[in-house]
């Protein structure tokens, strides 16, 4: 009905045309009108089709108490920069053990994103970026996703890992995933590994007193909250070094 109505409208605009010419114009215009919403739909969905065009991901060890994901096993809405395009409010999971990003398809399937196309993503208020060894980070550091916990001049990264281990409980094999984090601080043109309070202070020997004081004033215990302590110390150093 929409195509027919449009054709009548075009005919009314050009009454002086011959019947043959009018018919051709009507048919051509009708095809253009009909094709326009289709082209709009294709343009709007071409990018998202690229996002959902990955392999299916199967959740392994689904019945275990511990899991392979970052923070939680449930879907969390996040943002991903994929193949140069940004996608918001995407249900996703981050498999730390395999260092892979998983999203939920419209039909409920788990879709594995192509790692090399994931520039960065934000999940649970953590900003992860894919960094390449020898290009973005030190050659001896592993290419993969790093959590940017401080983005100032002395950029601070966390490489989050989980290892899969097994134990036997009542003749059943139980899988568990202990987590281990590796911290890196950018200074003097390269990233320095930081694990202890001593190693953090040695990076900034001229500001040791101030850095100890800021932890004390904010009641941050390094051993109990290493991540917060390192980020606070680095941020304080950058402020003092201005």
Please tell me the distance from the alpha carbon of residue 113 to that of residue 209, in angstroms, as a whole number.
46
Whether residue 45 is predicted with pLDDT greater than 80 in this model: the reply is no
CB atoms within 10 A of CB 53: 10
Per-residue pLDDT of 162-209, as tens digits, reads: 999 999 998 899 999 999 999 999 999 999 999 999 999 999 999 999
Whether pLDDT at 19 is above 80: no
Tokens read off for 31: 């095809």
Question: Which candidate, 240, 138, 188, 191, places its Cα nearest to that of 232?
Answer: 240
DSSP state of 15: T
Residues paired with 165 in a beta bridge = 176
Q: What is the pLDDT of residue 50?
A: 84
Q: How far is CA 147 from CA 78, 183, 234, in A?
A: 14, 9, 15
Q: How confident is the model at residue 14 (pLDDT cuts 50, 70, 90)?
A: very low
Q: Which residues contact 51 (CB under 8 A, 6 or more apart)?
A: 80, 82, 83, 85, 87, 90, 103, 113
Q: What is the pLDDT of residues 60-107, one digit of tens each?
A: 999 898 999 999 999 999 999 999 999 999 999 999 999 999 999 989
Q: Which residues partner with 187 through β-bridges?
A: 190
Residue 188 token pair: 């003097």
Backbone angles phi, psi at 198, to 5 degrees: -60, -45
Name the residue with tokens 């001229």: 206
Q: Could you tell me if 127 and 147 are in contact, meaning their C-beta atoms sit under 8 angstroms apart? A: yes
Question: In whole angstroms, what separates CA 170 from the centre of its chain?
Answer: 39
Buried b (16+ CB within 10 A) or exposed e, 111-146: bbbeeebbebbbbeebebbbbeeeeebeeebebbbb
Spatial distance between the Cα atoms of 22 and 7, rounded to a whole number of angstroms? 9
Tell me the per-residue pLDDT of 96-145, one tens digit each, with 9 for 90 and over.
999 999 999 989 999 999 999 999 999 999 999 999 999 999 999 999 99
């Amino acid at each position: 009905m929409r195509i027919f109505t449009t054709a009548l409208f075009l005919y009314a605009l050009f009454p002086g045309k011959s019947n043959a010419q009018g018919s051709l114009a009507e048919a051509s215009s009708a095809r253009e009108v009909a094709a326009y919403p289709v082209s709009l739909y294709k343009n709007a969905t071409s990018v998202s089709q690229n996002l959902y065009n990955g392999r299916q991901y199967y959740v392994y060890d689904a019945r275990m108490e511990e899991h392979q994901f970052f923070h939680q096993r449930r879907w969390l809405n996040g943002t991903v920069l994929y193949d140069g395009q940004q996608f918001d409010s995407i249900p996703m999971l981050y498999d730390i053990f395999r260092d892979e990003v998983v999203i939920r398809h419209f039909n409920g399937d788990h879709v594995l994103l192509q790692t090399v196309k994931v520039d960065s993503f934000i999940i649970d208020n953590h900003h992860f970026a894919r960094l390449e060894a020898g290009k973005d980070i030190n050659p001896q550091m592993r290419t993969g996703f790093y959590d940017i916990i401080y983005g100032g001049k002395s950029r601070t990264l966390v490489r989050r890992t989980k290892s899969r281990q097994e134990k036997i409980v009542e003749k059943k094999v139980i899988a568990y995933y202990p987590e281990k984090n590796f911290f890196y601080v950018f200074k003097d043109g390269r990233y320095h590994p930081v694990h202890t309070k001593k190693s953090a202070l040695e990076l900034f020997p001229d500001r040791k007193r101030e850095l100890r004081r800021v932890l004390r004033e904010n009641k941050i215990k390094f051993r109990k909250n290493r991540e917060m302590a390192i980020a606070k110390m680095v941020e304080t150093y950058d402020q003092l070094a201005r």
